[in-house]
Amino acid sequence: MTANLNTVLRKHAEVQYAEELAELARHDQRQRPANWKLSPWAVKTYLLGGKLDNGFEVTPKYIGSGRLIEIAVATLATDRALLLYGVPGTAKSWVSEHLAAAISGDSTLLIQGTAGTDETALRYGWNYARLLAEGPTEQALVPSPMLNAMRDGKLARLEEMTRVPSEVQDTLITLLSEKTLPVPELGIEVQAQRGFNVIATANNRDRGVNEMSSALMRRFNTVVLPTPDSFDEEVAIVSRRVEELGRALELPAEKPALEEVRRVVAVFRELRSGLTEDGKTKLKSPSGTLSTAEAISVLGHGMAVAGYYSDGVLRAADLAAGLTGAIVKDPVQDKLVWMEYLKTVVKERDDWKDFYRACMDVA
């Protein structure tokens, strides 16, 4: 089924940024690994942004360490798979999607890891009606995204690796080592074409996850994506993503004032670290991760409230409910942490009085 791209809620990276990818390809004279759409240099430029020789501006998709992106791209040019690791909300899936879009021109070869993921998601399945009627044939075989990536020499994406049962994870060991996938029912094997590789993501805050075996870990080069280093860096990330979110959803609200963005980011960073930005007051941290992605969500929710129920200008009152919901996951312990923060930190800030009143009204 083909969707009308004008009504798609969230376009794939290779569609949304098609102009940038095409412009980079036209001006990219550097060596490209087999089946790559862009050279490693151009992939890095696409992720981090920059200006081409003709003045064309490439927007940054990731704001952070350029060295980490270089390591990730270089890994994918070798025979080792890439594992993007870190706490929730550090743009692991976002970076994975954009790497696949820039390198393979296709970010859709995606396997979502869950507790119910079985071997067919990584290998292949069968159309049982045809299997019963015709027996095991290539026409009855249902390839997985991994199998399609091997055939086409593209990148496969595996989200939330550590949610996948351990015995299913280990299916990858032979696949990544030998770069082949046997199909014994047909007496054949699928050999990976040049350009094939795997990008997996995993976060280190899940409870009850399935740890990867040492044998599987050796097949991956691990790149840890950190939370933003500085306050200003996180503000820049949140501002950019919130503006993009507002445009994509066509929210009838103005771009949030920098002051409101800085407030939300300050709250998240202080509660996340257990210390105020000035380093003078120690704080209790709530049970949630309070990631950058959640800060973006809070501001997006506030824009919707301001746009549909007010004059379109984001104010503290529009943020209070979403902010409280993001912080108070445990109605007892987290609420105590939040109330203590409001009364000991927010209340004492002269230019945060409206913010304090709005949050107290909700809390």
- pLDDT of the chain, 363 residues: tens digit per residue: 555 667 888 899 999 999 999 999 999 999 999 999 999 999 999 999 999 999 999 999 999 999 999 999 999 999 899 999 998 889 999 999 999 999 999 999 999 999 899 999 999 999 999 999 999 999 999 999 999 999 999 999 999 999 999 999 999 998 999 999 999 999 999 999 999 999 999 988 765 578 899 999 999 999 999 989 899 999 999 999 999 999 989 999 999 999 999 999 999 999 999 999 988 899 999 998 899 999 999 999 999 999 999 999 999 999 999 999 999 999 999 999 999 999 999 999 999 999 999 999 997
Query: What's the one-letter identity of residue 162?
Result: T
Please report where in the chains the tokens 């909300």 appear, as a residue: 89
Please report where in the chains the tokens 């503290």 appear, as a residue: 316
Q: What is the pLDDT of residue 5?
A: 66
Look at residue 212 and give its three-state secondary structure.
Answer: coil
**pTM for this structure?**
0.91
Q: What is the pLDDT of residue 3?
A: 58
- Give the contacts of 8 (CB within 8 A, at least 6 positions apart): none
Q: What is the pLDDT of residue 290?
A: 92
> Cα separations (Å) of 320 from 50, 116, 295, 363?
36, 37, 12, 9
Nearest to 325 by CA among 290, 293, 357: 290
8 A C-beta contact, residue 82 and residue 220: yes
Q: What is the pLDDT of residue 208?
A: 58
The greatest distance separating any two alpha carbons of the chain, rounded to the nearest whole angstrom, comes to 76
- Packed helices 40-48 and 92-104: angle between N→C axes, nearest 10 degrees: 140
8 A C-beta contact, residue 145 and residue 192: no
H helix runs in the chain, sequence order? 13-16, 18-27, 40-48, 66-76, 92-104, 119-122, 128-134, 145-152, 166-169, 171-178, 214-217, 231-249, 258-273, 292-309, 316-327, 333-344, 353-362
Please report where in the chains the tokens 């004032």 appear, as a residue: 257
Q: What is the pLDDT of residue 204?
A: 81
